[in-house]
Structure 1
Amino acid sequence: MKCIKFFCLLLFPVILLAQKAVITGVILDATNVPLSNTNVRTATKGTISDENGFYFLEVDADQQINISFSHVGYKNVILKKVLLSTNETFEFNPVLNTAITQIDEITITASGRKTVDAITTIEPEIIRLLPGATAGVENVLKLLPGVSSNNELSTQYNVRGGNFDENLVYVNEIEVYRPFLIRSGQQESLSFINSAMIQNVSFSAGGFQAKYGDKLSSVLDITYKNPVSYGVQVDASLLGANATIETSGRNKKLSTITGVRYRDNSLLINSQETVTNINPVAFDFQTYESYTISKKINIGFLGTFSVNDYQNKPSARTTNFGTLNDPKSLTIFYAGQEHNQYNTASGALKVTYHLTENTTLKFIPSLYHTVEEESSSIIAQYQLGDLNSDLGTVSNTKSLGTQLNSARNTLDALIFNLEHKGIYHKNTSKLEWGTKYSHEDIRDQLRESEFLDSLGFLVRPNTSEFTNNEPDTPFNTPITALESVNATNYVQTNRLSAYLQYSKQVDWQSNALYLNIGARTQHWSVSGKNIARNAQTVFSPRAQIAFKPNWEKDMFFKIAAGVYHQPPFYREFRDLNGRVNPNVKAQKSIHTVLTNEYSFMLWNSPFKLVSEAYYKDLSNVNTYTVEDVRIRYAANNNAKAYVYGTEFRLNGAFVPGTESWVSLGYMKTEENSDNRGYIARPTDQRIKVGVLFQDYIPSIPHVKMYLNLVYNTGLPGGSPNNADPYLFNSRLRDYKRADLGISYTFVDENKQASKNSWLSGFKELSGGFELFNLFNNQNSITNTWVRDIDTKQQFAVPNYLTSRILNLKVRMRF
């Protein structure tokens, strides 16, 4: 009994502490200069910011409160209905302007911010800590209901029936690009986005505003940090390392954040069935620098450079497949190698000019350059046999043939952008506009071939000139590749786009109503060597209406509708034979999205349920095929398609002081080419389940667990070469994966070390391990097709992805 009393006495202050939360951040003025001596108050508590604009305020958890930020000569910012869960630390960096009072109508819960435009916001700390083979922003996006990816080695993702090329990505309002020639996930190593440099993340899966560019599916909007103090962070694991340096000048006018990353995916690739000598190395350098010239002018610079060097010498592979009644084994012996290299560099300048108190002008010139080379010659010899599952031996082995794949591809692309944006706001109204000029100069050489030999007989293309009528007619056609592409393209594209949008908040019978109406247009022309010049123009109106009724229940409704065009980029001009068709039209989607958000208390913790239903009517569809992550377009605009689906996402504090969520999505998409009827599109991912769960040991709260679970139904694909999708439309197996991460925090902002401890030199130190593919599921991204010589039956042999892997990691911050 005494022990129990003593334990309760020790636990009592912990219980009291558990009822608190913290809001912290840096207070800035309109020119991003930190404001000292700013009053930060709730109804019962208060503090002031220090000389660096930093503030730290402990507030009551699980209760709605208002927080005000005030400073002489500046507007007050009032943060309404703040609702933080127990032990939560929320970062909020307000910007104070001069003149009248402003009110920031935001509700904050453990699930993030509720915004008027229904854009999902994701806490950067979740991105940095969530385990995954390709840890980063994309790793978290794949847990959202409308986002899918069946390849953990790739950073690419599909959104609501779209492909990889239909997603917009911005970093500090600068559009970013990815390499053109990457064809498999294992050739990817690093996402463009450096997670250690992120300040804010916003994502929209559709129905986005006119200010965002011309794509059909989604927008990922990233903001990099503007540091206010010096800091160094180092992350290291068995997969690579990342170092980030943050600096700030004494007068706070200059701030820089610079990141260097190194990645080696050998640990992941070597877990696959192919025995290989591989060296997949990637290096990346990024810097964002901000300088405040005066209270009216700020200049930012984003510079990047990356090298992705992929070298692979496969030797052998054995795959067991088939059914319980008829198990098979495929053995492949390889000779040759492949060497692919992708070098990219970009630079962008962002000038922000505060013309008046209500008017802000931005000018953003940028330049992107990529040089990519593919060089491969791989010979593969196949053997197929019956698997004796009891003994683990193979019998009745038959040699099927030899395959030679060769590629010598080079691409040099230069993209120049010059953009202007403007914002005028007054009271509850805002007018935004922008115009952008882009010049794309692409120099591309494609030389690919595939030779297939079966039992000593060369397999030629399935066309009339290769018809074999032996022995009636002698067959003396020369040796020809089964598939070959040989093309050289020089293409220049000039684009001029513009947008205008107006938004307003009004009170209607004690209810809140938000309106956003806008439109954008783009004119582009295509020309080049041996290419007839062609020009086209598109116009895209869009609108969003949101309604926040004055109900006892916290409900939020929104409808978004608009016309979305995707003018063709270079790869969409290029057909399956490598030829450029300048007459390819912009794909068009009429998109409607209905959204409901319901915030409520459950188990004395805040939760939010987001429900969405959407429909897309697509025309001028440019059909394509997908193999791994390589997209090949038909460049024909000969199809129409549709997409519809529903999504649900419940997130909140399942465990006090943490954020978790469960998402469920259903989606169907089909296309009709040349009026032959509707069939499933390559991205027809019917059911998606994603779970993000965080937990900790109550008695040891610095031991934390992160778990992400993904289930996707199988995608269409895996058809034999040259198969008509209308005659052969199979599906890959379902994708199931779980990644687990466990870490221990030695030092952080809530756990300080004593001055005499060796830990005193760290601002943060944590370490742990990750288990990728926790349940060792055998997922596949494509199939290898082989034919039994006796029965002529074709077998789909899965190309399996990664198996269970242990990774160790450590994080240090000074």
Structure 2
Amino acid sequence: MKCPKTVLLILTLCLGKLSLAQTATITGVVLDEKNIPLADVNVSSDSKGTYTDKDGFYILQVISEQKTSITFSHIGHEPVVLRNLILSSNETFEFNPVLKEGMTQVDGVTVTASGEKRVEGITTIPPGVIRRIPGANAGVENVLKLLPGVTSNNELSTQYSVRGGNYDENLVYVNGIEVYRPFLIRSGQQEGLSFINPDMVQNLEFSPGGFQAEYGDKLSSVLDITYKKPTEFSIRADASLLGLSSTIETISEEKDLSTITGIRYRNNSLLVNSQQTKSNFNPTFADIQSFLNYRITKKVTLGILGSFSLNDYQNEPLTRQTNFGTLDDPKALLVYYQGRENNRFQTTQGAIMSSYKLNDHLNLNLTTSLYHTTEEEYSDVFASYELGTVDTDLSSDNAGGAIATRGIGSQFNRARNDLDALIFNISHKGTYAKNSRLLEWGATYSHEDIRDQLRESEFLDSLGFFVRPPRSEFQNNQPEDPFDGPIIPFDGVSAKNLIKTNRFSAFTQYSNRLEWRGHHIYYNLGIRAQHWTVSGKNVDKSAHTIVSPRGQFSIKPDWDLDMLFTLAGGLYQQPPMYRELRDQEGMVHTDVKAQKSVHTVLGNEYSFILWDRPFTLKSEAYYKKLNSVNPYTLEDVRIRYAAANNAKAYAYGAEIRMNGAFVPGTESWVSMGYLKTEENINDRGYISRPTDQRLNFGVLFQDYVPNIPNLKMYLNLVYNTGLPGGSPSYADPYNFQNRLRDYRRADLGISHIFVDANTTYPKNHWLHGFKELNIGFEIFNLFNNQNSITNTWVRDVDSKREYAVPNFMTSRVLNLKIGTRF
């Protein structure tokens, strides 16, 4: 599909600017001097007002991106005034005032260009941005990839790399529950749906490194998601050419019980059919999630989170042609397929969370969760290929096709993999806060029960006979001398593993805020520890213990310039999970130790007013020294570990991001990051790691057409320099340090907003029943760039040379969509 000129015209027109009000939310509980909730307190802003309920609870919408004053007043009490508050679009701000008798109070919030600064080194993203920004895999991860230090070259995948780490090094929490990904998925097009439902998100916090001890034992990043607690009944429905979704929010009359439930269905045929491999593609990606929050008493709350997802991936590849090489020597790979893939991934997760607020200072939490996944990977695919030159004669009927074939061969891949994983967690967390001091602690027990059966084989016939593995026991002089023996797969795995892991972890940390000579100072000191044992059938039992100290320091100088300086670091260790214990032949090594990283982060945040609007410029520099590294290879999204701590590595880089209201009432940003990461395996010298993405650049931009403010544009741009291209099976990675081509991608969304909070209709109008209604379209890969994620290695029959044939991602795709809320 070619991009019509009218789309480019609309894109040009969308660069105009016109102010349009967006909203934010302030909520909380109003108390009296005895810490008893006050009912019927008048809560009013410059333009709107509400009252607290019988439990002192209130919720109020205010205009975002501008100074707002909130007044809390009640008969017999002096008012509290919250002055000069600036909230971002769709931000939720919690404020719990105490109304006293006999004196007038005026509470002020420190005003910065973008609201209160996060001294903990956390990046927050408004939920509205997550839902609006276009992308082939729209959602939370789609926006994360636009942040500095976060990279992904696969628009079909929700997985991402942070500051040189791999996909297994990122922590993801939803309402305090750790989220796990399926184990066997090997390509982005098999993933389907992210666990995180963007329509259910209330708050998103992300740290790319230097995070506190309260978070678990991973090396790279933390994504902390909070699901909504509804304040009214509503139904949301969205539909597009890629799938359907619906979200239902309910709340009881007493406002003590609320539920939010999301149902999604996705079909990636539109995207997969735009790839170079033509196929009969019939996937089913569906899930349902529900979060229930019940306030049992004023001090006790109960939360229940449940989810079920099904990925039924069926694919019958047909043909593929990939043109590659240079202008002087163009080459073509033509492949004909037989067979099919039938993969099924079914996951269930449930959690119960209870919170007990003993008093104003002490809060106790107890959480238990259960995760279960059953994964089947069945495939029989036979591929016959031709490797030749490209017909460059434009007058030829075969222009662009393969001619002068130099290699004819075949490849047969077979897989019968089954995995059953059960993970149980129970954890306690507590906080004690008094004045500006905060003490936090926690303890967790986890049990992992993995049952895995691997049966994979790859047969090659690219030289006129079956190629045996290049091992000493298979040496021969074919084809000159005949060789008699059984047919051996060139690459094969056959293993059955029954592994159990028990983990005990705990943390404690202390935070304090103080003022010194007019400077505001914050610091956090913490420590984590974990002890785990690994056992199983036909493996040696082993036990390991780690201790990880961490710390953060921030200072906001008493300057006219609104600046915050941060320093964070510590020892971060990642105990291996099952996939890190399994080597490339399927054998489990229980003696694998935790990978270690000494991490240092130095940052600056500068907030300022430009064009009478708030902006923030955030920059960070970091260095990571890694030891006991477990080397791995990366193919699409499949990670295969060496299951040995036989390497050391390093990563360093710098990042910068400028965000703010480039257009009034919206949030946009520009980010850029530089990274270098290398590893030294068995003291052979340093080479690039598979995630060595040197430069990444991201733009998120929102705008609307002048005089038609309800016609809105959303644009994201990504540029990443090429990753290492990997190496063929059995090849020495030290001899293959070539890189993939640079990744360039632009996704554009145009929507017309018929109904929203600022556009309503009278009762006799047909649109009166809608709270939201929007219709639009998206163009993925706007400029139709050919991006590749991995290489396929093909052998030339004449020279015996192996060519790296790029596996290209999706081309330009048009998607239509409609969204409603009642």
Give 1:603 shift.
2.1
Does 2:664 correspond to 1:659? no
**Within 5 Å, which residues of 2 pair with 1:200-599?**
200-391=203-394, 392=399, 393-469=401-477, 475-599=483-607
State which of 23, 47, 52 in structure 1 corresponds to 2:49: 47
Contact 1:77 1:104 in 2 (8 A): no
- RMSD of Structure 2 on Structure 1 (CA): 2.4
For 1:717 and 1:226, locate their aligned partners in 2 and report how far apart those are by CA, in whole Å: 45
Q: 1:104 to 1:611 in 2, by over 3 A?
A: farther
Residues 550 and 115 from structure 1, CA distance in 2 versus in 1: closer, same or farther, beyond 3 angstroms? same
**Aligned: 1:776 with 2:779:** no
Q: Percent identity?
A: 60
Q: 1:131 aligns with which of 131, 134, 157?
A: 134
Q: Deviations for 1:473-497, whole angstroms, at most 9, x for unmatched residues?
A: 6522321000100000000000000
Q: Secondary structure at the match of 1:285?
A: strand
Aligned match of 1:12: none
Q: State the distance in 1 between where 2:563 and 2:456 align.
A: 56
- Alpha-carbon distance change, 492 to 788 in structure 1, aligned in 2, over 3 angstroms: same
Q: What secondary structure sits across from 1:726 in the alignment?
A: helix
* Alpha-carbon separation, structure 1, partners of 2:150 and 2:345: 27
Asked if structure 1 preserves the Cα contact closer than 8 Å seen for 2:334 and 2:402, the reply is: no
Letter in 1 for 2:165: G
| Counterpart residue type for residue 532 of structure 1 | D
1:94: which partner in 2? 95
Q: 1:473 to 1:762 in 2, by over 3 A?
A: closer
Partner of 1:753: 761
Provide the secondary structure at the position in 2 that maps to 1:458: coil
- Cα deviation, 1:485-544, whole Å, max 9, x if unaligned, reads 000000000000000000010010111000111101000000011111100100000110
Judge conservation of contact 1:371–1:412 (CA < 8 Å) in 2: yes
SS in 2 for 1:53: strand
Contact 1:35 1:49 in 2 (8 A): no
Aligned partner of 1:53: which letter? Y
The answer to whether the 8 Å contact 2:722/2:742 transfers is: yes
TM-score (normalizing by structure 2): 0.92
Tell me if the contact between 2:304 and 2:350 (Cα under 8 Å) persists in the aligned partners: yes
Distance 1:550 1:68 in 2: 28
Post-superposition offset of 1:727:
1.4
Q: Return the offset for 1:387.
A: 1.0
1:493 to 1:33, Cα distance in 2 relative to 1, 3 A: farther
Structure 1 residue aligned with 2:14: none
Structure 2 counterpart of 1:594, one-letter code = L
1:629 corresponds, among 637, 641, 647, to 637
The residue type paired with residue 234 of structure 2 is: G
- The farther-off stretch of 716-725 and 446-455 is 716-725
In structure 2, the residue matched to 1:167 is 170
Query: How far apart are residue 71 of structure 1 and its match?
Result: 6.2
SS class of match (2:544):
strand
In the TM superposition, residue 793 of structure 1 has moved relative to its aligned partner by 3.0
Matches within 5 A, 1:649-688: 649-688=657-696
Distance in 2 between the 1:77 and 1:288 partners?
34
Distance 1:22 1:333, change over 3 A: closer
TM-score, normalised relative to structure 1: 0.93
**Which amino acid letter does the alignment assign opposite residue 806 of structure 1?**
L
> Please, which runs of 5 or more residues in structure 2 have no aligned partner?
1-17
Q: 2:171–2:218: 8 Å Cα contact kept in structure 1?
A: yes
Offset of 1:767 from its aligned partner? Answer: 0.9
2:407 and 2:796 in contact (8 A); partners too: no
**For the residues of structure 1 that align with 2:431 and 2:243, how far apart are their CA atoms?**
42
Identify the structure with bigger relative contact order (alpha carbons < 8 Å, sequence gap 6+): 2
1:36-185 correspondence to structure 2 within 5 Å: 37-40=40-43, 47-49=49-51, 53-57=58-62, 64=67, 67=70, 69=72, 81-83=84-86, 90-96=91-97, 107=111, 109=113, 114-185=117-188
Is residue 203–residue 226 contact of structure 2 (8 Å, CA) maintained in 1? yes
CA-to-aligned-CA distance 1:279-321 (integer Å, 9 cap, x gap): 1211101000011111111100000001000000001111111
Residues 1:418 and 1:103: Cα distance change in structure 2 (over 3 Å): farther
Task: Tell me the CA shift for residue 329 of structure 1.
Answer: 1.4
Do the aligned residues in 2 keep the contact of 1:27 with 1:35 (CA within 8 Å)?
A: no
C-alpha distance in structure 1 between counterparts of 2:76 and 2:782, whole Å:
56
Give, as a single letter, the amino acid of the residue that structure 2 aligns with 1:136: G
Name the CA distance, whole Å, in 2 between partners of 1:802 and 1:279. 17
Aligned to 1:721: 729
- Determine if contact 1:49/1:55 at 8 Å carries over to the other structure: no
Deviations along 1:738-790, whole A, 9 cap, x unmatched? 00001011111110012111111111111100000000000001111212222
Q: Matched residues in 1 for 2:587 and 2:615: separation?
A: 53
**1:723 shift after superposition:** 1.4
Sort the Cα spacing of 1:20 and 1:812 in 2 relative to 1 into closer, same or farther, 3 A: closer
Partner Cα distance (1:122, 1:562) in 2: 26
Deviation of 1:471 after TM superposition, in Å, equals 8.1
The AA in structure 2 aligned to 1:49 is Y
Alignment deviations for residues 699-737 of structure 1 (CA, whole Å, 9 cap, x no partner): 011111000000000011232222111111111111000
Equivalent residue number for residue 705 of structure 1: 713
Question: In structure 1, the residue corresponding to 2:129 is in which secondary structure?
Answer: helix
State the distance in 1 between where 2:435 and 2:108 align. Answer: 12
Q: Distance between the aligned counterparts of 1:79 and 1:529, measured in 2? A: 63
Given residue 542 of structure 2, which amino acid in structure 1 is its aligned partner?
N
CA contact (8 A) 1:159 1:217 kept: yes
Partners of 1:535 and 1:627 lie apart in 2 by 31
Distance 1:41 1:759, change over 3 A: closer
Larger mean Cα displacement after TM superposition, 189-198 or 383-392: 383-392
State the match for 1:4 in structure 2: none
1:599-627, CA deviations, whole angstroms, 9 ceiling, x for partnerless residues? 11122221110010000010000000000
Aligned CA distance change for structure 1 residues 712 and 23 (closer, same or farther; 3 Å): closer
User: Could you tell me which residue of structure 2 aligns to residue 8 of structure 1?
Assistant: none
2:749 corresponds, among 720, 726, 741, to 741
Higher mean displacement: 497-506 or 791-800 = 791-800
Count matched residues.
791
CA distance in 2, matches of 1:318, 1:807: 25
Give me the whole-angstrom Cα distance separating, in 2, the residues matched to 1:379 and 1:478. Answer: 20
Supply the AA of the counterpart residue of 2:326.
T
Secondary structure of 2:679's counterpart equals strand
Change beyond 3 A, Cα 1:663–1:77: farther
